[in-house]
Amino acid sequence: MDTTYEARAIAPAVLRQLRERDDAGETRRPLTDPEGGAPLRCCLRHSEPGERILLVSYAPLRRWAAETGAEPGPYDERGPVFIHAEDCAGQTSGPGYPAAMHGARRVLRAYGRDGRILGGTLVEIPRERAAEVDDILREVLADPEVALVHVRAVEFGCFMVEIRRAQAAAA
């Protein structure tokens, strides 16, 4: 079975909320990124030197659960993510794995429709072979119990991007 999926950056409406008050209830101050390289979850790329960014607290499973009616219970966690300090023309979703966000070690954490963790897959693939993650994601999403996948950095556990099955085109 060929499972198509889309990588989802943080939605523009959620970004506006996070810029005002993050998921820890705090208002964060923008900073200018002197060197670049911060993984931006608003547009699924790394920051450029001199860009204004925010480091905010984000609860991705909580946001998904509010949208779907699931109850994440103890799996509800929040952590730091970088976003642009102002609106950007960022990607909100798209087909395929966002290779620009890949690091040598990622974990693909699968969640069921009820918001519980179903399992995790450790991916140790160098950046130049990031396209190989597509096959692994298709395999994880071939399980009908999997509702979504969070890609996370292994070293810090940071949320990188959300993966969902692609929506069927309207006939």
Q: Would 120 be classed as within a structural domain?
A: yes
- The model's confidence at residue 38, banded by pLDDT at 50, 70 and 90, is very high
Q: Quick one: three-class SS letters along the chain? A: CCCCEEEECCCHHHHHHHHHCCCCCCCCCCEECCCCCCEECCCCEECCCCCEEEEEEECHHHHHHHHHCCCCHHHCCCEEEEEECCCCCCCCEEECCCHHHCCCEEEEEEEECCCCEEEEEEEECCHHHHHHHHHHHHHHHCCCCEEEEEEEECCCCCEEEEEEECCCCCC
Q: Would 78 be classed as within a structural domain?
A: yes
Task: Report which residue type is found at 112.
Answer: G
SS3 content of the chain, % helix, strand, coil (to 5): 25, 35, 45
Q: Would 91 be classed as within a structural domain?
A: yes
pLDDT digits (tens, 9 = 90+) for 121-151: 999 999 899 989 999 999 999 999 999 999 9
pLDDT of residue 168: 54
CB atoms within 10 A of CB 27: 10
DSSP one-letter code for 73: G
pTM of the model: 0.90
Mean pLDDT value across residues 145-164: 94
Domain span holding position 54: 5-165
**Total domain count, the chain:** 1
- The model's confidence at residue 83, banded by pLDDT at 50, 70 and 90, is very high
Largest Cα span, the chain: 48
- The model's confidence at residue 104, banded by pLDDT at 50, 70 and 90, is confident
Mean pLDDT value across residues 98-105: 89
Q: Would 171 be classed as within a structural domain?
A: no
Phi, psi of 34 (to 5 degrees): -70, -30
Q: Average per-residue pLDDT in the chain?
A: 91
pLDDT of residue 170: 39
Mean pLDDT value across residues 9-26: 95
